[in-house]
């Protein structure tokens, strides 16, 4: 903390000294260089935060996808097959995954396949397993 305060005081004092000794034009050039360095640092920081958010969203998508697969496996078990509440949970999890995929495609350059909501295909797969 004290080093950043000392650097800020040094930048300000150097700017005042530059404007006093050489005039307004060198001071404005100095001020422009300082502002450019600040904006470069700020841009790098924002890009790092954006990458961290992207990683978090990808992780969340993978977790939700694993949850949807798990619920579908439970639904396909003979004991729970045809349970309407589980069917609604599966449909709801697919809707959430599709929303996340849409958000990823909108904000990030990620190509993911959307989870299809074809109830007939899941029922056909379950009937073929029997």
pLDDT digits (tens, 9 = 90+) for 96-109: 888 877 877 877 76
Q: DSSP assignment, residue 118?
A: -
Q: Output the tens digit of pLDDT for each of the chain's 130 residues.
A: 788 899 889 988 988 888 888 888 888 898 899 999 999 999 999 999 988 888 888 888 788 878 878 877 877 777 767 778 777 877 888 888 888 778 778 777 666 554 444 444 444 444 444 4
State how far the Cα of 46 lies from the Cα of 9, in Å rounded to an integer.
25
DSSP 51-115: HHHHHHHHHHHHHHHHHHHHHHHHHHSTTTTT-HHHHHHHHHHHHHHHHHHHHHHHHS----PPP
pTM of the predicted model, to two decimals? Answer: 0.52
31 in Cβ contact with 16 (< 8 Å): no
- The tokens for 7 are 């650097």
What does the pLDDT read at residue 90? 79
- The tokens for 50 are 């954006």
């Amino acid at each position: 903390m004290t080093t950043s305060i000392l650097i800020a005081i040094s930048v300000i004092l150097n700017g005042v000294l530059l404007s006093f000794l050489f005039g307004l034009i060198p001071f404005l050039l100095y001020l422009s260089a300082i502002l450019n360095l600040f904006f470069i640092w700020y841009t790098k920081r924002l890009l790092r935060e954006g990458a961290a958010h992207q990683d978090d969203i990808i992780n969340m998508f993978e977790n939700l996808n694993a949850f949807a697969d798990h619920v579908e496996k439970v639904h396909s078990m003979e004991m729970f097959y045809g349970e309407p509440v589980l069917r609604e949970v599966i449909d709801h999890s697919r809707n959430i995954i599709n929303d996340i995929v849409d958000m990823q495609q909108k904000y990030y350059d990620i190509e993911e396949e959307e989870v299809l909501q074809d109830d007939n295909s899941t029922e056909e797969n379950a009937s073929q397993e029997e």
